[in-house]
Structure 1
Amino acid sequence: MAKKVTGMAAEIFALICSLFMLVPFYMILINSFKSKEGAALVNLSLPDEWHIVENYTEMFREGGLGLAFRNSVLLTVPSVLVIIFVSSLAGFVLQRRVSKASKRLLMLILMGLFIPGQIIPTYFICYYMHVRTFLAAGLVLIASNLSMGVFLYTGYFKSIPRELDESAMLDGCNGLQLFFHIIFPLLKPITVTLFIITFMGIWNDFGTTIYFLNSSRNFTLTLTIYNFFGVHSSDWNLVFANVIAVSLPVIIVYFMAQKQIMSGMTSGAVKG
């Protein structure tokens, strides 16, 4: 009985603590409904007058969110697909090939998880190579996320028995047929996990895109906040509305796929 009471108390305490994480989101949401003067106070009180339709309509009109949404899709979707394609192939080869060279190469790739990127030298390298705007930003974001992809896939491949490879090869499959027809369909949980992680990271990226997409026509959704600080420097109600609009797609995608994320992150963790 004492253990049950202690467990329930711990769960209630953890629930109360987790609710504090919602306070920033509540503050942003409630201030996006206020007038210009009310939002400038940046507090948690309810609006004296609600300006929901007016604020969001003006935010969409002034912020150019339609063009920015297109830019975000053009940058995010191809980058994520390349990350999945390259990291899955690399992870399969590095995990299946037992040699000192493959182990050293894997360690070299995984060092990218710990070594911070240097954006200024990278920018000048792209500039002098005449790689600009979306291509430059996409290549940098792909390179910065490949280590995570290889790490997740190599861990997951440990749960797929090598006997499956041998059986497919005996049936006449070559290397590409083995991977794409036999192995890759088994990677759905970890592929969905990597897709969501990289999608959220690239969609919300600010530090890389601000250097390479430094024109209002090239802005992604995350960068559209600058449209309000330039023209509406004190319109915090529009800034908060912009933050909500930018965050909403990622929140929806995350909650739709959170079960797949947990499944992919734990699969292969205790095998091999």
Structure 2
Amino acid sequence: MISKHLCPCCSLPLLRHISCHRIYWFCNYCHQEMPILDRVVETNWASELGIRQVSEYQRCLSRWWSAEKLGSHLEALDSCDRLTQLANRHGFDLYLDQEWRRMARDQAPLSLILCDIDFFKTYNDTYGKEASDRCLQHVAVAIAAAVKRPADLVAHYEGEKFAIILPNTHAQGAVHVAEQIRSQVSTLKIAQTHSPLSQYLTLSLGVASMIPSYEYSPGMLMTAATQALEGAKVQGRDRVILHEQLLRQTQLVEL
């Protein structure tokens, strides 16, 4: 006969065997005999078993929760640039894709700023790698100071390039942020004596803005911002250029 009682080791129902001498209780899985003497003992065992099961569940939950937190921590590390403490390219790509879909759903504008440090190779050749790393760190802090909203993301994209994602931002607002970034970096007065442009470090910035669509990918916005950045360099550097021909079919973002 299968019992309502459980084996404390296996958490499986016990079997009851009645012989002419006595009643035997044993586990059908581990074959361990359970000397159940009376209802009181059985009740105590049931309580103890319940406590054990809850404790085991809590331990399992704790291990799972720790794994979840560890996974989130590792994911955060994977998305963080160690030099500047900004988002890295991986983090940028993830966030751009997320905000593209969110703005497409809300039919709201998404803006992107790409900026390069002008003649950074010359700076690196002149002052060395350690100074160049410090320079990138200072520029990162200056850019982050100009980008104030929690939903905005500043990323160290690669080398001397930084990228800023601005959800719910029209072109005019994005250009304003870009000018603030350029001004912040200018106030640092980082010497760049061998630059053909200025005695201090400068930035070139390209801005693009559009209302995303599920029909297109974020690469469309990235391409437009890249073209605007190249335009800023062609026109003399140390300036902000807005990509003015960015289309969603024939729809331009309202300036």
TM-score (norm 2): 0.24
TM-score (norm 1): 0.23
Higher strand share: 2
Larger relative CO (CA 8 A, sep 6+): 1 or 2? 1
Higher helix share: 1
